[in-house]
Amino acid sequence: MKIAIFENEYQQIEAAFEAMNLLYFDNKLEFSVFPSSQNFGPLENLQNYDIAIVDIDLSQNSQLDGYALLKKIENLEKKPKILVLTGSSKVESTLQEKKLPKYDVLLKPVDFSEIHKSLDKMFKK
């Protein structure tokens, strides 16, 4: 299972992801972390991932913020499942305003159990 994580403050949640991977997936999940949108390279390559976790506030030097990145992903022919990670409780209404689909949202602060629940739900979809 390959998961792309677009998050500029991954160190804040790194241990939670590691613990979840260890306890529930026997370290079988592969995480690739990208602090800014351009770090990923061509977005077409997202088809190689099962899930993309997108934080709305990416690093200051990121070319795209989370919403713009989601729009680009939506335009891809083959796209992974999306999980939105954010500290803002208004993200769902903003997604609606920006005419983006109703993604699963994981609200910060997060612990490993919550991350597991969200991923588990996505794998079952």
Partner 1 sequence: MFKSYKLDAVIRLITSFLYRIILILFGIFILLVSKNSFSFWSYATIFISYAVFFIILFKKRNWLSKFRLLNDYLFILFVLWNKELTILTYPFLLLPIFNSPNHTGEKRSFLTYIFTTLILIFILRNKFEIIDVVPLFFILIIELFEKIRTRLLRFSSSLYNEIDNFYLKKLNLKKSHLIYAEIIERLNNSRFKFFFTTKIIMCFKLKNSKFSIMNSSIFAWNYSIKIDSEKIKELENERLLSNLPIEINFKTYSVNFYIPIKVENEMYVFVYIVEDLKIWSICKFYVSWYLKPLLSKIAVVLRVEKELRDDRDNYIKKMKDKMYYVNNATLAMHFLRNKFSPIKNYLEMIEKEERFGKEKKDQYSEILKKELSRVKTSVKEILDRTNLILEKSENPFIVNQLSEVSLKKVVDICRKIWYDFFDHDSIIFQWKDIDETKKSYNLNEDGLEILITDITENLHKYQDGIFKLRFTEDNDSYFVTFENNVKNYDSLNIDLEKMALDFMSDDNIEINKRTTHGMSMIKSFLNQMKIEYKLSIENRIFLFKLIFNK
Amino acid making up residue 85: L
Sign of CA dihedral 7, 13, 15, 16: negative
Round to whole Å and give the CA distance between 102 and 96. 7
Closer Cβ to partner 1, 11 or 75, answer by number: 11
By the criterion CB under 8 A, which residues form the site for partner 1? 9, 11-16, 18-19, 22-23, 57, 87-88, 108-113
